[in-house]
Every structure is written in C-alpha cells, then in structure tokens.
Amino acid sequence: MYLFDEIWGQFMIRWLHVGSGVMWIGLLWYFNFVQIPNMPKIPDEQKPAIGKVIAPAALFWFRWAALATLVTGLVLMAWTGDILDTMTLGIVGAAEDAFVLKHTAIGIGMWMGIIMAFNVWGVIWPNQKKALGMVEVDADAKKKAARTAMLYSRTNTLLSIPMLYAMVSAQNIY
Amino acid sequence: MKNPLESLPNTVLMGVILTVIMVAVLAAIE
C-alpha cells in the first residue's frame, strides 16, 4: 500500500510545493508581463479598479504562495535528509562525492528561491502597501515605493528563469 | 544610465544569460 507511506507523504509535500510555486511565479509573471506594462494604457478614472481591487487580491495570493513554496520546499528537503547537501550546493554533506550535480543544481535553485521569497516579504510587499495606499505616505514616498517594488519584482522575474531550470533539471537530467 | 531591469525584454534576456552561465558552470564541474 503506497498511500500514506513516507514516499507518498514526500510526494504530497512536493505536489503542494509545485502547486504553490505555480501560483507564486504565475502571479509574478502576471505582474511583470501583464499588469505593469499595461497600467499606462488604462485611463486614470479606471486605474482604481486595478490599484484598489485586482492588485491587492493578486498580492495576497502572491505573497502567501511565496511563503507556502518556501516552507514546503524546506520541509521536503528536511524530510528527505537532503537539506545540508543541497544548501551547501553539494560541496558538504552526506553524499559520497563532492558536487553531486543533483544537489548542486537544486541547491542553486533553492538559494535563488530563498532570495526571491525574501524579496517578496522584505521588499516588494512593504513597498506595495505604500504604493497602493494601504499605508499612508506622501506622494514622493509613494512614487519611490512603487519603483522599488517594480525593480525587485523584475529582479525576481530575472531569477525565476534560472531558478526553474535548476529545479527542473535537478529532477530530470542530473 | 537607465536601470536595465526597467525593461522587461532586457530582464528576460539577463535571466536567459544567467541560465546559460549556470548551465556552463554545472557542465564544467560535472
């Protein structure tokens, strides 16, 4: 009976990890590929529909999906016993040979993901709260916060490309 | 100088370049 055994449990955590990761990176790409480039095309009187309704809802699922992805990923690596091997990029750990590429590849992806999750909770979300008027600040600070949030969101878009390669290649080719 | 991250195509290009560098490093240590 494979249901409810350790392998199945680890698979369930991996399934939750991939699912929350799809929501996180999907919404990240929505912000960067859809929302941000099209905001200038929306008439001023219609902008609150995005700023007051769509963006806060998208940001809710975005930041909690980021946290869920981080937590499920770390829980999975702790459960399989690979956390030291992966966090040290395969240099240190239980594996017999240095640089076991599976650990190196997924470790690179994990560190990129950790940086991205920190960017979400430490930079993007606090600045979006100012930019969207959830926290009252003056007009200059609001503009600056929107720019900072956008640049860190772009940084995460940049990192998402090698991060996904690292994660998927570790699973499939190494 | 304009921050390259302000352009979405430049961001994607930098992401692809970073991926290629990463793949080359992984191939070199294999």
Contact B18 A99 (CB under 8 A): no
Q: Mean of the per-residue pLDDT values for chain A?
A: 94
| Tokens read off for A58 | 């998208």
pLDDT of the residue at A4:
82
Query: How far apart are the CA of B14 and the nearest CA of chain A, in angstroms?
Result: 7
Q: pLDDT higher for A137 or A1? A: A137
Is A112 a residue whose pLDDT tops 90?
A: yes
- Total structural domains within chain B: 1
List, for residues A151-165, the tens digit of each pLDDT value.
999 999 999 999 999
- Measured between its terminal Cα atoms, the distance across chain A in Å is 29
Task: Give CA–CA dist A106/A85, Å, rounded.
Answer: 10
DSSP A2: -
Interface of A with B (CB under 8 A): 32-33, 36-37, 99, 101, 104-105, 108, 150-151, 154-155, 157-162, 165-166, 169, 174
Neighbours of A66 (CB within 10 A): 27
Q: For chain A, what are the domain ranges? A: 6-19+49-172
What is the pLDDT at residue A163?
A: 98
Say if CB A127 and CB A146 are below 8 A apart.
yes
Give the pLDDT band (50/70/90) at residue A94.
low
Which burial class, exposed, middle or buried, applies to A118 when counting CB atoms under 10 A from its CB (0-12, 13-18, 19+)? middle
Q: Provide the domain limits for residue B30.
A: 1-30
Q: Residue A98's pLDDT band (boundaries 50, 70, 90)?
A: low
The pLDDT assigned to A76 comes to 97
